[in-house]
Amino acid sequence: MFDIFIKTHFAGAHHLRDYPGDCEQPHGHNWKVEVTVRATELDRYGMGIDFKILKKIVKEVIDKLDHHDLNTLPYFQDKNPSSEHISRFIYDDIQPKLRDDRYALYSVTVYETDTQGLTYYGK
């Protein structure tokens, strides 16, 4: 079994509605994101998934978040754009695109800062 991952990042603004503290005010983060694919077999080139393919798929969803006010995006109209919901948004967007007989999306890790974050493994 192989876990193949890429790291990327995006900048965005958000606020947490009805949050009892400073995060209720509009503010921004430079989120870091790690996407991991688990491969059970290698292809004829000796790869679980080509990094080029993984980066392209992840870039498509990151571009939907980068330099946006996340609260204005349709996905976040009825839920706070917390790191937890951001990780689920990324996961749900790319999961159908990363299915193969040999591999599947395993997890999405989102770092709000260098020292705090979370990992979402799907439903």
Active site residues: 23, 67, 112
Instruction: Using alpha carbons, select from 62, 34, 54 the residue that is nearest to residue 98.
Output: 54
91 neighbors 118 (Cβ within 8 angstroms)? no
**Helix, strand, or coil (residue 22):** helix
